[in-house]
Amino acid sequence: MSSRKIVFAGLVLFSASMPQLAGPAAGRDQPLANHDKAGLYIRSLEHVLRLDAEEVDLGTAALIISERWEDVRGRRYLAALDEMALEIRSSCGRPMLRAPRATVAAVNKYLFDELAFEPVEEADDPNDLFLHSVLDNKRGHCLSLSILYLAIGERLGLPVYGVVVPGHFFVRYDDGRNRFNIETTSAGRSAPDEHYLAKFKVPAGDSIYMTNLDKLQTLGCFFNNLGNAYSEVGESESALRSLETAVRINPSLAESRSNLGNLYLESSRPDEAIVQYNAALAINPAQALIYSNLGNAYARKGWSSDAIGAYLKALELDPVLVAAMNNLGNAYFARKRYDAAMEQYRRALELAPDDETARCNLAAAYSNKGLYEEAAGEYTLALRIEPQLARAHKGLVYAMYRLGRCRQALEHAAIASELGEEPDSELLAALKEECGND
């Protein structure tokens, strides 16, 4: 059973204020554009979430979250953000807001050329989410690089916004006259809306996708990734709080609902998981993975017909989704439709021959059909992939017993017990009696 979490490659921040900025002639003693925002002086995340969206300072909020993640001094990083903004402002000249593309080009040049911020190859390290880590390492994924970009933007008073699409986040400049996108994983280059609509399969209908987000909505997207980060390090309560906050702020964001559903399912709360998965699919019905996870929730409830329907829909949307094949096979298996189950396991193995779970599933189906030689063969192949796979050792106990190879069965029984999978006590007694008579 698989319930991959959906993360954004990037999140971004928004600033509503647009004061005229002083150029180099005014010196560095002029205040930055965010100097009077209430959010700049907030010390707790709870207080941040009680602010009006226009009063939130996203750089400050992101660093408060960093302080909760690990022992860092967020205020020290705020000073670094201020210094970066002052450096950009000094290089631009007085009419920054009258030349938006030139201003954005200056921000891009400073961040990506002079300071050499760059994207990570894989968004698989939860630490890459946090602003302090980006500032320390000069690297991040789209979410965290965009947080940096917009923390700078709000200090310069630039009208930049976060924009979410399924699985991704980017920055948009929009002053009412000039509107263009900024891709932080590509050194700030601009791509048209049509690029994002096509590449990320943005659903039609009323949702927050492709809109300019306010600051609280942007934080809501951040909480989606934060929940996944906490889940990765085993802090389930913090993960749950983060994802519930994400859904509360952005109820029309399918990713947050899906990820919250995953957490509910992992916590043996399938009814609540079903609610979240169905809400996510109402927003974005083209998500095969969410249908597969909905099937998992139905299966947990014992609703095998509903589970089969969800898995079939997942495979209609994504014919190569191995997790859905495995789980569809399991649903058929639960209804004793072993041939149908075996067909799905074989399809999964054609795409992922090293999937030890599919090997064991196929072996179990063989065993239930009385094909013990074939079952033993599949369990053995699974052990070549993962020698300490307790399920395979336990399965071989019964297969070897039925094949009359009691000593081999006992050997696997001992290994299975060491790995925490105790074979059936009556079967063990029968094995010991037969082996004793050899």
The string of pLDDT tens digits covering residues 143-176 is 999 999 999 999 999 999 999 999 999 999 999 9
**Which positions ≥6 away from 104 have C-beta within 8 Å?**
158, 173, 180, 182, 188
Helix (H) or strand (E) holding 87: helix 74-92
pLDDT over 60 at 51, yes or no: yes
Is 400 within the bounds of a domain?
Answer: no
> At residue 256, does pLDDT exceed 80?
yes
Query: How many structural domains comprise the chain?
Result: 1
pTM of the full predicted structure? 0.87
pLDDT digits (tens, 9 = 90+) for 270-306: 999 999 999 999 999 999 999 999 999 999 999 999 9
Using 50, 70 and 90 to split pLDDT, how confident is the model at 23?
A: very low
Q: What is the pLDDT of residue 432?
A: 83
Handedness of CA 368, 371, 374, 375 (dihedral sign): positive
> Rounded to whole angstroms, how far apart are CA atoms 51 and 38?
8
- Residue 59 in any domain: the answer is yes
- DSSP annotation of 213 reads B
Q: What is the pLDDT of residue 235?
A: 95
Tell me which residue of 181, 212, 159 sits closest to 15, measured CA to CA.
Answer: 159
Q: Which alpha helices (DSSP H) does 301-335 contain, by range?
A: 304-317, 322-334
**Contact by Cβ (8 Å): 213, 162:** yes
- Evaluate if residue 316 carries a pLDDT over 90: yes
Q: Tens digit of pLDDT for each residue in 194-218? A: 999 999 999 988 889 999 999 999 9
| Residue 163: CATH number of its domain | 3.10.620
Tokens of 88: 């950009």
Average pLDDT across the chain, whole number: 91
Q: Where does the pLDDT of residue 24 fall: very low under 50, low under 70, confident under 90, or very high at 90 and above?
A: very low
Q: What is the mean pLDDT of residues 61-73?
A: 93
Domain membership flag for residue 233? no
The pLDDT of 140-144, averaged and rounded, is: 93
**Domain interval for residue 156:** 24-216
Q: Are 65 and 226 in contact (CB under 8 A)?
A: yes
Task: Kindly give the residue spans of alpha helices, DSSP state H, lying in 335-389.
Answer: 338-351, 356-368, 372-385
Is it the case that residue 5 has pLDDT exceeding 90?
A: no
Range with lowest mean pLDDT among 44-48, 375-379, 424-428: 424-428
Q: Are residues 14 and 170 in contact, defined by beta-carbon separation less than 8 angstroms?
A: no
Domain contains 199: yes
Residue 235 lies in a domain: no
For residue 277, give every residue at least 6 positions away whose Cβ sits within 8 Å of its Cβ, in sequence order, or none: 257, 258, 261, 290, 293, 294, 297
pLDDT per residue over 378-400, tens digit each?
999 999 999 999 999 999 999 99
Alpha helices in 93-157 (DSSP H): 100-108, 131-137, 142-156
- Statement: residue 230 has pLDDT above 80: yes
Copy the structure tokens of residue 183. Answer: 């891709």
Q: Which residues make Cβ contacts (< 8 Å) with residue 125, sequence separation at least 6? A: none
pLDDT interval class at 360 (50, 70, 90): very high
Give Cβ neighbours of residue 336 (< 8 Å, ≥ 6 apart): 368
pLDDT in tens, 240-254: 999 999 999 999 999
Q: Which helix (H) or strand (E) holds 424?
A: none
